[in-house]
Chains A and B, each alone.
Chain A
Amino acid sequence: MAASDVKLLGARPSPFVNRVQFALNLKSIDHEFIPQNLAEKSELLLKSNPVHKKVPVLIHGDQPISESLVIVQYIDEVWSGPPSLLPSDPYDRATARFWAAYIDEKWFPLVRDLRNATDEQSKAAAVEKLFEGLKLLEDAFVNSSNGKGFFGGEKLGYLDIVLGCYLGWVRAGEIFTGLKILDETKTPALVGWAERFASHKAVDGVIPEPEELVNLIKMFQARAAAAAADASTK
């Protein structure tokens, strides 16, 4: 299939876009990456994802698919040859989907909370909540990996992609707050996993450097402060 048959509308710092990039890389799928300016959304983006107007959007042929977890599963089902991203057993698939939902709905918002925390007390509280979540994910990793290196076992799988995409932002959060989030004394298995994940060839070069993300955090915070100042002077 020609590269032009598969397009990915995305933005490099988005962990959700990164997920799709991991999946495309793992499956060795030729594709065209079309960077999007999220401050000024393109016609193509608005046409391809009219409901949410967000990235990532995978366009396969002329069919757009949105929502990163939906896209990753689509990729796994259409390009169904090895490596498989999701396990084959229905119970293991349900477990992977359960943790994916937990990571997106419960855990990653805590990283956002940390990013938005302005004083030491709220930063410490946010990190504490993150640790509680990471303990659950540590157990999930131990159960899922069966003594091997990844959530998917010997090979990268769905949950590796789902959690791994956040590693850049986690590291940026650590730099920004000066607090450790991935701590080898608390979640040693996940720390080891994070190193293996980051150096995997399907991942290498996809996630922006933490320093770049730290600058984005500073920009978000500056904008939020400016907006708040504007609002209070009105």
Chain B
Amino acid sequence: MAEEVKLFRTWSSPYALRIVWALKLKGIEYETIFEDLTNKSPSLLQYNPTHGKVPVLVRDGKPVCESLVILEYVDETWKHNPLLPQDPYEKSMARFWANFGDDKLMKSIWQLFIAHEKDQDVAAVAALENLKIVEEQLKGKKFFHGETIGYLDLAFGWIANLVSILEEIMSLKLVDGERFPHLSSWIQHFIDAPVIRDCWPPRDKMIIKFQVMRENYLAAATPK
């Protein structure tokens, strides 16, 4: 009996993309349900009542939420083409760095993105420091785990796409080849990887979306 796998996502969510890539790497067939987060479907609210967010992976009617949790679930359920290292210490490092990516790196880049011009210099310091930390991790490696794409590449995948979009909107270069040669090289390899490259959301739509988001944040934060 074929099992039923569904993925609730939006066209732009970088978190949902992690799961799209993971399922593709594992060769798993599934149904995609695109959500409009301003008008959430009853199914999404039923499957993720706590947060009402995407992505949600539903397998045989049972939902799994939170993208990093879903990645581990996918890896443990479909054991071929492993995403995480087998060695417990290496696995711990992978989990540690994924948390760093979401908790520190992404947040600091976002803070820079929504900063007023007068606050940009300070915000940039944190973002650049965090990027440098990731740069160190990529020394001597094609992908985070070596020669093939794995869990950390999927966890950091948003860098390869979103950063250049935010840079264009801010007119500010963050990840340049001189300061971040390893990160820049990783971006090139990741963006062009066969499993990855067909999944990117349309760039022009992304630019518009994030530009509007930035304007809203800046307007809301402006002292009256």
- Chain A residues engaging chain B, CB cutoff 8 angstroms: 51, 60, 63, 65-67, 69-71, 73-74, 77-78, 90-91, 93-95, 97-98, 101-102, 136
Q: How many residues of B contact A (CB 8 A)?
A: 22
List 28 A–B pairs whose Cβ atoms lie within 8 Å, in order of A's numbering.
Answer: A51-B100, A63-B89, A65-B96, A66-B96, A67-B96, A70-B95, A70-B96, A70-B99, A71-B92, A73-B95, A74-B88, A74-B89, A74-B91, A77-B91, A90-B73, A90-B76, A91-B59, A91-B64, A93-B72, A93-B76, A94-B64, A94-B72, A94-B73, A97-B66, A97-B72, A98-B65, A98-B69, A101-B69
User: A146: shortest Cβ distance to chain B, in Å?
Assistant: 16
- Give me the 9 closest cross-chain CB pairs, A-B, nearest first: A90-B76, A94-B73, A77-B88, A97-B69, A74-B92, A94-B64, A70-B95, A90-B77, A65-B92
Q: Let me know if B96 and A98 touch, CB within 8 A.
A: no
Q: Mark B35-66, 1 if CB is under 8 A from A, else 0.
A: 00000000000000010000000010010111
User: B99: shortest Cβ distance to chain A, in Å?
Assistant: 6
Residue of B nearest to A97 (CB): B69
**B133 within 8 Å of A by Cβ?**
yes
CB contacts between A and B, total, < 8 Å: 55
Q: Let me know if A91 and B66 touch, CB within 8 A.
A: no
User: A143: shortest Cβ distance to chain B, in Å?
Assistant: 12
Compute how far the CA of A102 lies from the CA of B92 in the bound complex, rounded to whole angstroms: 20
Compute how far the CA of A139 lies from the CA of B135 in the bound complex, rounded to whole angstroms: 42
Residue of B nearest to A90 (CB): B76
List the B side residues contacting A65 at CB < 8 Å. Answer: 89, 92, 96
List the B side residues contacting A77 at CB < 8 Å. Answer: 88, 91
- With A67-B96, A73-B95, A74-B88 known to touch, is A101 a contact of B72 (CB < 8 Å)? no
Compute how far the CA of A97 lies from the CA of B64 in the bound complex, rounded to whole angstroms: 10
- Chain B residues engaging chain A, CB cutoff 8 angstroms: 50, 59, 62, 64-66, 68-70, 72-73, 76-77, 88-89, 91-92, 95-96, 99-100, 133
List the A side residues contacting B96 at CB < 8 Å. Answer: 65-67, 70
- With A74-B89, A98-B66 known to touch, is A93 a contact of B95 (CB < 8 Å)? no
List the B side residues contacting A70 at CB < 8 Å. Answer: 92, 95-96, 99
